[in-house]
Amino acid sequence: MTDVGLRRERVPRRAVAGYAAGSVGTGGFGTLPGLVLAYYLTDTLAVPALLASVAVALPKVWDVAIDPVVGSWSDHELRRRSTRTRLMTLGALTLPVGFVATFAAPTTLGPWASAAWVVVAFLLATTSFSLFQVPYIALPADLTDGYRERTRLLGWRIAALALTILVVGAGGPAVRDAAGGGPRGYLLMGIVVAALLLVGMLGTVLGTRGLTAPTDVAGTDLAGTDVAGADVAGADLPPADDAGSEAVPTLATGYRAGLHALREHTAYRVLLGVFVLQAVATGMMLAAAQYVATYTLGSQAALTFLFAALVGPALLVMPLWTWYAARRGKARSLTVASVLFIGAALALVAMPVAPDWWAYACVAVAGLAYAGMQLFPLAMLPDVISRAGREQGGAMSGLWTAGETAGLASGPVLVLLMLALGGFVSSAAGVPAEQPPAALSAVVLAFSVAPAVLVAVSLVLLRRYEEPEVAL
């Protein structure tokens, strides 16, 4: 392999700060609806639980479907205008509208009409989110070809993401409760968080504007320098002419571009598989956390501490992971983080017989590992995009985002299946039901062994990843 560091000058601080700011938008939108939307439907709009589950799931399905198409639109914009920021700007400006509308259902509507309102509003918000998120993920490959610079860029982003998850995850419900809860509380919460999302996403657009390097459809810089280590440069991609007459990608061409990248680039295929498996593991642990708090630790309020223990360490260890990766390589660093996560997750099996502090300590160690498991795949993706040709970055990031969404959404499904197999007893009126021993065991296994097994499988796949050689 050759050195991929063709433009290894340091990324300007405004671009680093701007790129990190985007995590305020992505982290806030990814966190708050997952915490409160289902409860908003069932306990404020009186939507039946089964109907509420459909209302929450439909936008997720749409998200998976549209992401590869948005990725192709992003590549189309890059070829025509040498930038992806138009789509990001459109997403940033429209997301707050759909987000506020999601929590602004009129109280005069019945349950079915309320569910329909939320589905439509959240679909609009999800579409706007894809317009920002997909090119946002591809952006590091446009900002620099420096191997270490990408890790630095993503390190600040993941730190901002962890802080946002903590602030929005705790602050959003606090705003709702301070306003008295109910429809008024949710509406105020939606307005406050939407404003925060807007500031963060526009921060990325402004901070990175004019800094992306132009590229042509052959996978080279316009100055004529080939992208190092490209497996396939622009194969099967439509040429763009000077008049910009290239057809706007359709649903079919969007998926074709993503599947082409998946088929032709082994490193991308391996990395995506690793990332999706680890996303499923993360989704399982997050979904099982409330059950662990209630039925293993004996307090619903323990969820706050579990959540903080898992996410908080990223703020402390991100510089250390960045330093370690600069000396050992990203793939090896991901392996170390994953092994640490597996050990911490397996240790959680002892929760039923151990004191409560044991659970928090193990989750905190898993949080240290989780920071690396978030950082390194996202820092490795621009390396893969650069080797394949940056004009395919949108197609790759679109399929990547779809895979992440599907993985995180699969986690709760697997948890519920495990609980069902254990004979879990549902409850009403917020009063936990008495559970059979098999159900209590299923709660622990869904939080510990199952995520550990998924991450272990991802490590087997990671062995096939070939990291580029980098000139130090």
Tell me if 94 is assigned to some domain.
Answer: yes
* C-alpha torsion sign, points 87, 88, 93, 97: positive
The residue type found at 44 is: T
Extract the tokens encoding 288: 């099982």
pLDDT at 366: 93
Tell me if 291 is assigned to some domain.
Answer: yes
How far CA 319 is from CA of 153, 412, 450, 458, in Å, comes to 11, 31, 29, 24
Tell me if 82 is assigned to some domain.
Answer: yes
Tell me if 237 is assigned to some domain.
Answer: no
- Are 135 and 397 spatial neighbours (Cβ–Cβ below 8 Å)? yes
| DSSP structural state of residue 348 | G
Report the distance separating Cα 213 and Cα 225, nearest Å. 12
Tell me if 180 is assigned to some domain.
Answer: yes
Tell me if 80 is assigned to some domain.
Answer: yes
Task: Assign 242 to helix, strand or coil.
Answer: coil
Q: What is the CATH number of the domain that holds 334?
A: 1.20.1250.20
The residue type found at 270 is: V
The string of pLDDT tens digits covering residues 376-396 is 888 888 888 777 666 666 677
The string of pLDDT tens digits covering residues 432-457 is 678 889 989 998 999 999 999 999 99
Extract the tokens encoding 218: 């052959």
Domain span holding position 41: 13-216+251-462
Tell me if 198 is assigned to some domain.
Answer: yes
The string of pLDDT tens digits covering residues 279-314 is 899 888 877 887 788 789 888 677 778 877 887 777
Tell me if 282 is assigned to some domain.
Answer: yes
The answer, as to whether pTM is greater than 0.75, is no
Per-residue pLDDT of the chain (472 residues; tens, 9 = 90+): 334 334 446 777 888 888 888 889 888 888 788 777 876 877 778 877 678 778 878 888 888 788 888 877 777 777 777 777 888 899 999 999 999 999 999 988 888 998 899 999 999 999 999 899 888 887 877 777 776 777 777 778 877 888 888 888 778 888 888 888 888 998 999 999 999 999 999 998 888 876 655 444 434 343 333 333 333 333 344 444 444 445 555 555 656 666 777 777 888 889 999 999 998 998 888 778 877 887 898 886 777 788 778 877 777 888 888 888 888 888 999 999 999 999 999 999 999 999 999 999 999 999 999 889 988 888 888 888 777 666 666 677 777 777 887 787 778 778 878 888 888 776 544 466 788 899 899 989 999 999 999 999 999 999 988 876 554 3
Report the distance separating Cα 159 and Cα 375, nearest Å. 9
Domain count for the chain, please give it.
1
